[in-house]
Structure 1
Amino acid sequence: MNKPDPIPARLAALKTATTPELKQQWRDLFDSEPPPFNRRYLESRLAYRIQELAYGGLKPETIRRLERLGEDLDGGDRTKSRIRADTMPIAGTRLIREWQGVEHAVTVTADGFEWQGRPYKSLSAIARAITGTRWNGWVFFGLKNRRART
């Protein structure tokens, strides 16, 4: 009799795993420290990695095509694409900030941010609209420590 495929069960278990367990799986599967992103990101990347290791990854021609598309977007600057990928929250992420007793929710979109139904290119523009003063949007929404040198 055929053995059942354990991969679907491993993928389902990601939903009930604790964040420390997800981070340990990241270390085991990627042989690196997990990034400081939200749980949903960790789950999706771990799910992909589990399937990639079990069933194989993308075909080389698909990887080349994706790299060409990426070069079209960022001019081939690998540093620029890594910085964006490492710092930008994934699309769909909601950033919540209370300001003077009012809670403000910003949604990360594929090409920027949305606040109160309007698109914005930067968090700083939203922070200025909320406070009336100039702010570093990343600091205002708690994504970057004001003292950090990045």
Structure 2
Amino acid sequence: MARLRKTRSLAKAPAQPAPLADDRERLSQLVSSLPDLDRRQLLLQWRNHLGGTAPAHLPTWLLARLLAYRIQAAAFGDVSATTQRRLRSLKDAGDHSTPVPFANRSPATRDGVDLRPGALLAREWRGRLERVSVLSEGFAWNGDTYASLSMVAKAITGTSWNGHRFFGLRSGRQTPARAMPAKARQARATPSAPSQSEAAP
């Protein structure tokens, strides 16, 4: 009976009090420093602040974001079930014309030009030329259809790859043109006005 009472009292434990101003400042500094850490340092921060080990399959950038979220949720409290239900209902009732955050992006060249259905991508892999056709809904390779370029790259190589990088559509840290601000993209696309000497007949 004593054990049962102890369990009930734990279930009704009050929520953690909100952090003080100093704690908020320290937390803010910690969270803002996470993107600058390498994978090993992020795993150490995970162990120090959350205990246990981080999911091994997460890429470094996502590990930093998840760690930031979990640290803040531990300090301020997580999203309540009521809020989660409200967000789901808004999503279901909302406008579906906006893309889903993690939807497959359309393939584009390094300059940000979208590839249309019918385009052919080629990549040499281990001495063999691999050709992939862009379809209206996915990609065709070797007689099969795939939902994303990453799935095609995995089928070709047997390991996980970023499909856009594998096919040379984007390089490591180069900013694609679509991600640039509109003004910068416009300046890059429009040729500069001819000089006076060129304009004169």
Report the TM-score range of the alignment, normalised by the length of the smaller protein. Answer: 0.3 to 0.5
Structure of greater Rg: 2
- Normalised to the residue count of structure 1, the TM-score between the two structures is 0.46
- Normalised to the residue count of structure 2, the TM-score between the two structures is 0.36
